[in-house]
């Protein structure tokens, strides 16, 4: 397995990389659909819409559940989604072993960041409730800077804040958004296979290493 040297920082996506957020997102989505008199969806269908932000999730869910133009219902739907998601977002659980990996990486004297497209209000609730925020030196949410992944701005901002060069950092994620952002920012890109890829392949020559689980990170960073 490939090894990385001179690494000073590791950046983690949140949804589908550190946390399994699908159950809470599915609940909020179905409550939203019910309130606008649309058919609720199977959790696997909703899960396939996760990964490109809440607006995309809401529009895709409306389109799948109805033949109506999602824009007609979007404003009301967004308010309802936020109403329900804020109630349960913090209940999302980290994947097995995620906390242990963060602990081991901190012992290697690495600076750690969570870089997610999720708005700060939900990101902070999830990280604080789980206790994982204790291990993080930086949290960059979807509304921290003006552009989100796949744009490289969040990763450029993270490198600047943590005072590292891009090639001293690894972006760890589960989707094409993470791959494109890391590649464009000039960081190394490592993928995990179990997250939310919204039906897209994450096999790419822009990926430096595909690992089976987060624990592999401990062994690949010298």
13 labelled catalytic: yes
C-alpha gyration radius of the chain? 17
Spatial CA neighbour of 170 closest among 55, 1, 6, 32:
6
If one counts every other C-beta atom within 10 angstroms of the C-beta of residue 76, the result is 12
Q: What token pair was written down for 130?
A: 């789980």
For residue 175, CA distances in Å to 36, 41, 74, 114, 211 come to: 30, 23, 25, 15, 13
Q: Which of 13, 15, 82, 178 is catalytic?
A: 13
Angle at 93 (CA atoms; ends 88, 98), nearest 5 degrees: 150
Sequence-ordered list of residues with C-beta below 8 angstroms from that of 83, at least 6 positions apart, any chain:
none
Residues involved in catalysis: 13
């Amino acid at each position: 397995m490939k090894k990385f040297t001179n690494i000073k920082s590791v950046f983690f996506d949140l949804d589908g990389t550190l946390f399994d957020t699908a159950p809470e997102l599915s609940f909020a989505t179905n409550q939203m659909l019910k309130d606008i008199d649309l058919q609720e969806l199977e959790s696997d269908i909703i899960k396939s819409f996760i990964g490109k932000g809440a607006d995309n999730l809401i529009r895709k869910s409306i389109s799948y559940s109805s033949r109506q133009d999602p824009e007609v219902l979007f404003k009301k739907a967004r308010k309802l989604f936020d109403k329900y998601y804020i109630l349960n977002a913090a209940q999302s659980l980290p994947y097995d072993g995620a906390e242990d990996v963060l602990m081991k990486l901190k012992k290697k004297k690495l600076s750690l960041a969570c870089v997610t497209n999720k708005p700060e209000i939900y990101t902070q609730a999830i990280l604080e409730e789980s206790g994982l925020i204790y291990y993080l030196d930086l949290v960059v949410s979807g509304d921290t800077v003006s552009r989100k992944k796949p744009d490289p701005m969040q990763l450029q901002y993270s490198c600047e804040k943590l005072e590292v060069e891009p090639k001293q950092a690894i972006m760890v994620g589960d989707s094409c958004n993470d791959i494109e952002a890391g590649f464009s920012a000039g960081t190394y890109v490592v993928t995990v296979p179990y997250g939310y890829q919204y039906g897209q392949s994450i096999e790419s020559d822009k990926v430096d290493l595909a690992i089976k689980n987060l624990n592999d990170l401990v062994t690949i960073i010298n």
